[in-house]
Chains A and B, each alone.
Chain A
Amino acid sequence: EAGVAQSPRYKIIEKRQSVAFWCNPISGHATLYWYQQILGQGPKLLIQFQNNGVVDDSQLPKDRFSAERLKGVDSTLKIQPAKLEDSAVYLCASSQVRGHAGEKLFFGSGTQLSVL
């Protein structure tokens, strides 16, 4: 079974530039998540999709971050314009529908973003 695919693996940009990350979840997984992991901290949820609808974006800085999941499969996360504090690893994860069974999240390898 293929895992969660993310690209690019690394990205270096200057502040005020824009950047986009791509994620392809495990086939058949309805739920997709974007997490931000700052060095030395645990992942923080940015946005959660159920199919192509947004379930939770309460921690997404909407003035600069946006995300979409067209057709309920692939997703892109964009930052425009980037700030120094956006330097982090951006992790995409997917799971089957999060019901009472407590399905596990499967994480991709992440995109490491450095903003200079």
Chain B
Amino acid sequence: ELKVEQNPLFLSMQEGKNYTIYCNYSTTSDRLYWYRQDPGKSLESLFVLLSNGAVKQEGRLMASLDTKARLSTLHITAAVHDLSATYFCAVDIPYSGAGSYQLTFGKGTKLSVIP
């Protein structure tokens, strides 16, 4: 069974600071997603990482994937209050015999950026 672990689960940081959220997973995969969820809202796709060494950046967020270490990171640069949300990583693995993929989510990292 695939396990996806994020840490930290809770993160409180001041505006202007940098920090990294980590996502470890337990089985081979080269497809990893990051999603953002605001309170009471649905999930919004941030990044899709499809190969070892993939790096994607959008604004103050940068995501990377190391498939050999089974690790993805989401780096936050110079945080601002608008980034406060819960961030989920999700790992895609082939679903046996179905020719499709099953997406498994981590528990999420709740980020609070304090002005």
Contact = CB atoms under 8 A, between A and B. Distances in A.
Interface of A: 31, 33, 40-45, 48, 50, 55-56, 91, 93, 98, 101-102, 104-110
B100 A42 contact: no
8 contacts: A40-B108, A44-B105, A56-B98, A56-B102, A98-B101, A102-B31, A104-B48, A108-B42
Given A42-B105, A50-B100, A102 B43 contact: no
B53 to A, nearest CB: 15
Contacts of B25: none
A44 B87 CA distance: 15
A41 B42 contact: no
B100 A98 contact: yes
* Secondary structure type dominating chain B contacts: strand
Given A48-B100, A56-B100, A98-B101, A41 B107 contact: yes
Interface size of B as a range? 20 to 34
Contacts of A33: 103
A81 to B, nearest CB: 27
Nearest to B42: A107
Contacts of B107: 40-42
B45 A42 contact: no
Contacts of B33: 102, 104-105
What 3 A-B pairs come out closest when comparing CB atoms?
A: A42-B105, A107-B42, A104-B45
Contacts of A102: 31, 33, 48, 50, 92
B62 to A, nearest CB: 18
Contacts of A91: 42-43
Interface string B90-106: 10100100101111111
B97 to A, nearest CB: 10
Contact of B102 (A40, A45, A50, A108): A45
A107 B33 CA distance: 14
Contacts of A107: 42-44
